[in-house]
Chain A
Amino acid sequence: MTGIPLHQAAITVSGLAKRYGEVTALADVSLVVETGTVLGVLGHNGAGKTTLIDVLSTRAKPSAGHARVCGFDVVRDGHQVRRRIGVTGQFAGVDDGLSGRDNLVLVARLLGANGHQARARARDLIDVFGLGDAAERPAKTYSGGMRRRLDLAAGLVGSPQVLFLDEPTTGLDPMSRTGLWEMVERLSSNGTTVVLTTQYLEEADRLADHIVVLGLGRVTVSGTPAQLKARLGERTATISFGSELATRRALDALSKLGMPATTSGFVLGVALTGPADLAVLVRTLDSAGAPLKDLTVKEPTLDDVYLSLHRTREVLR
Chain B
Amino acid sequence: MTAQPTARHRATSRTGYENPALWRAGGFRSQVRVLAARSLRTAFGDRRLVFFGLLQPIVLLLLFSQVFSGVGNLPGVAAYQGYVNFLVPATLVNIAMTTAMSSGAGLLAEVYSGFVGRLRCLPIRLFSVLMARTIADAARLAVQLLVTLVASVAFLGFRPAGGVLGVAAALLLTLVVGWCLSWLFIAIATWLRKAETLQAVSFIVMFPLMFGSSAYMPLDTMPVWMRVVSSVNPVTYAIDATRGLALDRPSGWAIPATLGIAVAAALGGGVMSARNFRRAT
Contact = CB atoms under 8 A, between A and B. Distances in A.
Contacts of A87: 118, 121
B41 A98 contact: yes
Q: For this complex, into which size category does the number of interface residues on chain A fall? A: 35 or more
Contact of A113 (B20, B46, B118, B122): B20
A82 B38 contact: no
Contacts of B45: 97-98, 138
Interface string A133-160: 0000010000000000001001101110
Contacts of A84: 3
Contact of A112 (B17, B23, B114, B115): B23
A59 B121 CA distance: 7
Contact of A120 (B16, B38, B116, B120): B16
Contact of A61 (B120, B123, B280): B280
Contacts, number: 121
Given A117-B18, A157-B20, A78 B279 contact: yes
Interface string A99-125: 000100011111111001101110110
Interface string B1-25: 0010010010000001111111111
A117 B45 CA distance: 24
Contact of A59 (B21, B34, B114, B279): B279
B121 A57 contact: yes
Interface of B: 3, 6, 9, 16-26, 30-31, 34-35, 38, 41-42, 45-46, 110, 113-124, 279-281
Given A59-B120, A98-B42, 16 more contacts: A59-B280, A78-B280, A84-B3, A93-B116, A94-B118, A95-B113, A96-B113, A102-B41, A110-B119, A110-B122, A111-B123, A113-B23, A117-B19, A138-B45, A154-B118, A159-B21
6 contacts: A78-B280, A80-B3, A87-B121, A124-B18, A157-B20, A159-B19
